[in-house]
Amino acid sequence: QVQLQESGPGLVKPSQTLSLTCTVSGGSVSRGDYHWSWIRQSPGKGLEWIGYIYYSGSTYYNPSLRSRLSISQDTSKNQFSLKLSSVTAADTAVYYCARCWSSPCVWGKGTTVTVSS
């Protein structure tokens, strides 16, 4: 049974780069027809799709974040990662990684990231 776990700093300073990693167990990020996804939820708000990386390495980004966003995968560690540059307080959120597409999404537990000096 696949499991996902987010990791990374809980506090990031404004204008810096937010970096998170999702470690996958019980499945491979380089096999299967899945979207290895990042989703976030700002305090008291709804879900916002950030982007995903396909098992082949192709990436798909939310147009509103595209200029600041990079999603990559490390198949040797069975991980995929998120980098969001030039962060502001508006990027404060719970960040989730998930595996989705043509099957029920499997979500990580989420990690809270606060942008503050």
Residue 15 near another protein by CB under 8 A:
no
Residue 109 near another protein by CB under 8 A:
yes
User: Looking at beta carbons only, is 61 or 80 nearer to another protein?
Assistant: 61
Q: Cβ of residue 109: shortest distance to another protein, in angstroms?
A: 6
- DSSP 8-class letter at 66: G
**d(Cα 61, Cα 65) in Å, to the nearest integer?**
7
Residue 96 near another protein by CB under 8 A:
yes
Cα angle for residues 39, 47, 10 (degrees, 5° grid): 55
Task: Fill in the amino acid letter for 94.
Answer: V
Residue 104 near another protein by CB under 8 A:
yes
Query: How many angstroms separate the most distant Cα atoms in the chain?
Result: 41
Q: Which residues bind another protein (CB under 8 A)?
A: 35, 37, 46-49, 52, 60-63, 96, 100, 102-105, 107-110
